[in-house]
Amino acid sequence: MFLGSMVVKADGQPALAGSTICQVDSYGKLIWFEVMKDGETSIALLTLGNSEVIETSHGPLAVTRTRVITTDELLCYMAPLGPDVLSIPLTMAYLRNYRLNHPNAQIGTQLLKQTFVAGTTNELRAEILHSAGLSPFVRFGAM
């Protein structure tokens, strides 16, 4: 929806005004726009919420925070993240390895850690545990 949009106004990053959104991507809870202005490409890292508004030619986008970063900074943000809950399937090998290395970790706590699975929210955690019939207090080593 926002691809090709012109950033009209960005509360947290006024320098983004006048940029064109060239690419939109995400991983876990991280969302970023690749924007171009005056022939220069930048990355705008977004946290969704309601504190700031980015006005675009296709409508407003409510965000908690906007930061203009470099590609290297984006890679640093992503480096500690676990598999993306929406795009990379969790394999049994990944879960077995995690259980061996973290036998005392409670599954309910781990599901919220972005280093275990990136993008998991409290609501999704509750759905996963309910569907599996598991208590959030079960430890990996007991599974």
Q: What is the pLDDT of residues 68-106, one digit of tens each?
A: 888 888 888 888 888 888 776 778 888 888 889 999 999
Residue with more model confidence, 115 or 51:
115
Longest alpha-carbon distance in the chain? 57
Mean pLDDT of 101-125: 90
pLDDT class of 108 with cuts at 50, 70, 90: very high
pLDDT of residue 7: 86
Instruction: Please tell me the predicted confidence (pLDDT) of residue 60.
Output: 83
Per-residue model confidence (pLDDT) at position 136? 94
pLDDT > 90: percent of the chain? 16
**Is the pLDDT score of 1 beyond 70?**
no
